[in-house]
Structure 1
């Protein structure tokens, strides 16, 4: 079955401010998610909000999040018969927006917010595929160039999944929104681009000289 090109907006995924920056296109949402490495997982613990950073990967319409079997949210997810209500966010900063007034300073960004229910991944086949995807999210091609996890490591690792159903992106681009009466002020105004780049790979000290830098780490 062909999926709609857009996620259906909900009350939780409709911004109260700057609604023109919201986006629901699947391609846009997927691109933002696929570019990142770290998400923030929010949930309620003992009546109070908790937000934790963790690595993640997208496989189709599902996010996989990694953690230790001893971590609180993963343990609560495993113990719950209905799953754990969560909010997952991913953000990329693309520029610092410097206005003539302090009020209009801003940031150019791309973000995704996912509301859903986290569930423990217990099936061996899906769990193995999810762990490979988490490695691939960091560096494409890496999962085939490592030793697979052994039984002890698998026992210490948990994976939870969140389906992409209630999802939105929000994007800001462009320069500052200076007020007309501020245009003649003698203050620099514009955008300072921000980008995340990969550096030259540094081998560990005990790596054999015979092990070459893999092609998937080529920096061009």
Structure 2
């Protein structure tokens, strides 16, 4: 019997109201968007600034307590990047009656899958996959959990890279590396795929339709041929790296083309937001 698909709770904070048919609350969908996004943007409020702060960080979903969990399970978000003393202090915020311990954060991940070119400027859009997670960030201090997170994040850059680098990290590397763990409260995703959509009066105007090209330009990240560093002493590019580049490029092309070719209901203007 298939396992039930888990979803994040639809709380006011994370519920998609505009074009709600494009929303997804599936853990698998949201975690998949995060795990394939090379840069995550982490937002938080700091008491010493009138403006919210936004930090670009590297991150990956995972479970230290249940490392065999997949993207459809309840997971934490591990983040790596420069963590200032200000952020460290904020992550040590104690629990209250209304909130668990840690710094409240909002984390966003976005992929652009296509340039959607319509008849009119107002109907242009992107094909995209966007997700937001809300939670509380704390500093990972236990070495065993920090090692787990470091391997998880390193292998998200290039699959298998952790085992193909000089490991384990030494004491200086461990002490200088900061990892944040976000316990997720809720989240949501919003996804657009398919062709452009225009108003009926434009689509029925031969002068407009015959003069303006419409369609989708697929967009995907492309990994290039590796360029050896100045002190590289390995003659050949490792097979695991070549395989990773090939696989990632194939997946990127396939996804963006399928998103462009996704069908819209005949005679209905697709949602363009």
TM-score when normalising by structure 2: 0.74
1:80 to 93, 99, 103: 93
Deviations 1:140-175 (A, max 9, x none): 100111123222222222111112340111100112
What CA distance in whole angstroms lies between the structure 2 residues aligned with 1:142 and 1:56?
16
Q: Could you tell which deviates more after superposition, 3-12 or 168-177?
A: 3-12
User: Does residue 11 in structure 1 map to residue 12 in structure 2?
Assistant: yes
Higher-RCO chain (CA-CA 8 Å, sequence separation at least 6): 1
Which 4+ stretches in 1 moved above 6 angstroms? none
Q: CA deviation at 1:202?
A: 1.4
Unpaired runs of 5+ residues, structure 2, are 64-74, 95-100, 247-273
1:214 alignment partner in structure 2: 238
2:264 alignment partner in structure 1: none
For 1:128-147, list aligned pairs within 5 A: 128-147=147-166
For 1:27-42, list aligned pairs within 5 A: 27-42=28-43
User: Does residue 93 in structure 1 map to residue 112 in structure 2?
Assistant: yes
What CA distance in whole angstroms lies between the structure 2 residues aligned with 1:93 and 1:167?
19
Q: CA deviation at 1:30?
A: 2.2
SS in 2 for 1:30: helix
1:188 to 195, 203, 213: 213
Deviations 1:56-103 (A, max 9, x none): 1111401101123436434421x4233111000111100011111111
2:82 to 65, 68, 75: 68
Q: Is the 8 A contact 1:110 1:171 kept in 2?
A: yes
Q: Is the 8 A contact 2:123 2:196 kept in 1?
A: yes
User: Does residue 157 in structure 1 map to residue 182 in structure 2?
Assistant: no
TM-score when normalising by structure 1: 0.91
Q: CA deviation at 1:206?
A: 2.1
Quick one: structure 1 residues 217 and 178, their matched pair in 2 at CA, closer, same or farther if it must change by over 3 Å? same
Residues matched between the structures, number: 217
Quick one: structure 1 residues 69 and 165, their matched pair in 2 at CA, closer, same or farther if it must change by over 3 Å? closer
Greater fraction strand: 1
Q: Is the 8 A contact 1:109 1:172 kept in 2?
A: yes
Q: Is the 8 A contact 1:94 1:109 kept in 2?
A: yes
